Amino acid sequence: MLDMKMIRENLENIRNMLKYRDVQFDLDLLLELDKKRREMIITTDELRKKKNEMSIKISEAKKAGSDATSIIQEMQSVSAELTKLEGVQQNTELEYTKLALTIPNLLDKSVPQGDSTANKEIRKWGDIPKFDFEVKDHIDISENLNLLELERAAKTAGARFYYLKGDLVKLNQSLIQFGLDFLSENGYTMFQPPYMINRNSMQGAVILDDFEDVIYKIEDQDLYLIGTSEHAMVSMHGNEILDGNSLPTKYAAISPCFRKEAGAHGKDQKGIFRVHQFEKIEQFVFSKPEDSWNQHENMIAITEEFFQKLEIPYRTVLLSSGDMGKISAKTYDVEVWMAGQNAYREVASCSNCLDYQSRRLKIRFRDKTNEDTQYAHTLNSTLVATERTMVAIMENFQTKDGHVNIPNALQKYMGKKTI
C-alpha cells in the first residue's frame, strides 16, 4: 500500500510507475474514491459532533432533574441519520481499501525500464564447468543414483511433487544446516515460522493476484499455506511499534514453501526445479528508511557469498520494471549455472519493499516514546532454495562415471565427498 497523500502529490510519478511496470490500474477511480471517502469522513464527523454535544446536554439535564424528552427525541433522529450515512461510508471505505491494496509499489530510480529483456546483469562469478563426456540433467542423474521418486509422487500427490530419497535427503539437510550456520555467523537470528498464516497477515505480505496464482488455502479455516517464510516473517511484527534502536533486525527463517504455480503450465515440467513444495532459507530484515538501501546491498552480498562457498557459478541480475514483483521497489535475482540445462537459472531473489508491506501491516518504529512513529522498511532475500540448489549441485558436480561430487563446504555436513 502507498501513502495516499503522496499519491495525490505525485500523480505523474505514479502514472509512470504503472506504465513502466506495464500494469493496468484505475488510478482515476482510486482518486475519486479517496475524495469521496474523505468527504464522507467530514460529513459523518459533523454528525457525531452534534451527537456528542446533545449527549452532554441530556446528561446535564438528567443530573439537574429536569425533563430531557425533547432533546432525546432530537437525538434519536440524528442517530438514525448517522446510522444511514455510516452505511454509505463503510461501503466507500471498503471499495477504496480494496482498490488501494492493489496499487503496485514505487520503483527505485535505478530500476531499468522495460520487460524482461531489459534485465541487467551486474555481476558474474565462477567458471562454467567443462565436461569431457555427455552432460546429464538432474533428472537422469537422480534416476541413475536412485535419489528421487517422481512418478510415485505424481501418483500420490500429483505433478510437480517429489520424494527425495537417500543421500538427496541428506544433501538437503546439509544445505539447510550450512545455510543456518552461515547466517548465524553473520549475525542473523534464526526463526522457524508458522507454515500457515491467517488472511490478514497474508494480505499484508502479498498482492491480490498472488492469492489466485500462488497461495494455497486451507478449507474451512482462516489459514493459508505460506508461499515463502517471508509471508510469515513480515506479519510477525504487524501492529507493533518497534524500538528504533533494535533496527535493523536481521532474521534468518527456514521453512517449506508452498506454491500453486498456476500459469506455469508447460514450464520446467519435470524434476525438482519448479515444484509445489520446497525448502528455503530466507533473510528478512526490518530497517529504518535511511538504512534500507544499504541493507539491500548487504543481503545480496550475503547470498552471493553463500553460492561462492558452494562453488556454484552465478550471475546477479537487476530486474527491470516489467519483470519485478509488484510489492518490490527493486529486486536482484541470483541465477546459478545449471550444466544440464546449459543455462543460468533463478535460485534467489533479493527485494527492498520500502514501507509498502509495513503500511499494510502497520509495522512502525520510533526511537523514543514521545516521537512520531514511522513505517519501517522491509527487505527479503533468499539465502538458499534447497531443491533448486540441489539441481545445480547434481548437474555441475556430476562425474563421468555418473556420480555427484559434494562441494567442499558441504562435505562435513554430508559426511562424504561423493554420492
Opening angle at CA 199, ends 198 and 200, nearest 5? 95
Q: How far is the CB of 390 from RNA (least distance, A)?
A: 28
- Which residues in 349-364 are b (16+ Cβ under 10 Å) and which e? bbbbbbbbbbbbbebb
Q: Does 267 bind RNA (CB under 7 A)?
A: no
Q: Is 58 in the site for RNA (CB under 7 A)?
A: yes
- Residue 36 one-letter amino acid: K
Q: Is residue 109 part of the contact set for RNA (CB under 7 A)?
A: no
What is the three-class DSSP state of 345?
A: strand
Under the criterion CB under 7 A, does residue 199 sit at the interface with RNA?
no
Of 146 and 198, the one with the shorter C-beta distance to RNA is: 198
Strands (E), 259-409: 277-287, 314-318, 330-338, 343-352, 363-366, 374-375, 377-385
Query: Which spans in 333-398 are helix H?
Result: 356-361, 386-396
Exactly one of 36, 51, 165, 309 binds RNA (CB under 7 A); that residue is 51
x/- contact string, 66-105, with RNA (CB under 7 A)?
Answer: ------x--xx--x--------------------------
Of 151 and 220, CB closest to RNA: 220
The distance of closest approach from Cβ of residue 40 to RNA in the complex, given in angstroms and rounded to an integer, is 9
Beta strands in 324-366 (DSSP E): 330-338, 343-352, 363-366
Residue 79, CB-side half-sphere exposure with 13 Å CA sphere: 9
Among 9, 22, 45, 115, binds RNA (CB under 7 A): 45
Which residue is listed with cell 536481521?
250
Which of 23, 118, 135, 241 binds RNA (CB under 7 A)? It is 241
Q: Does 55 sit near RNA (CB under 7 A)? A: yes
User: Pattern 355-394, binding to RNA, x per CB under 7 A?
Assistant: -------------xxxxxx---------------------
Amino acid sitting at position 273: F
Interface contacts to RNA, rule CB under 7 A:
4-5, 38, 41-42, 44-46, 48-49, 51-56, 58-59, 62, 72, 75-76, 79, 241, 368-373
